[in-house]
Amino acid sequence: MERIQPLYKTTKQLLEVVEKPYETFEEREKLIDEMNKLLVQREELMQEVKPPYTEEEETLGKQIIKMDETIKEKMNELFRSVQTDLRQLKQKRDSDKTYINPYKNLETVDGMYVDDKL
């Protein structure tokens, strides 16, 4: 029980952090930093857990697995939101470049037309 209890607490903390709402980029950045710290800590704890397990440890393990599934879903949502923001930023940057120099990507193969009737 003593081996799995710290893992359970860390997983629960991670679940709470992942479920926190965020409004701004700064809040999301802080949230990601917290998640990374907890994931590193959790990884270390997971390496210490080895069989055989007692019934209590198995029960906690099943709860940890359920929490882990929720954590993965929330992290995937967060990842998708970051990807969307990056895509929007790239589009904005590209449109800004086009606005600054609209003829940069314009390639002409033919030459100029000179009117001889002058």
Q: Give domain limits for the chain.
A: 5-82
The pLDDT value given to residue 109: 60
Q: Quote the pLDDT of residue 108.
A: 63
The list of the chain residues with pLDDT below 50 reads none
Q: Give pTM, 2 decimals.
A: 0.76
Q: Taking the CB of residue 18, how many other CB atoms lie within 10 A of it?
A: 20
The torsion defined by the Cα of 110, 116, 117 and 118, in degrees rounded to 10, comes to 110
How far apart CA 116 and CA 104 sit, in angstroms, is 30
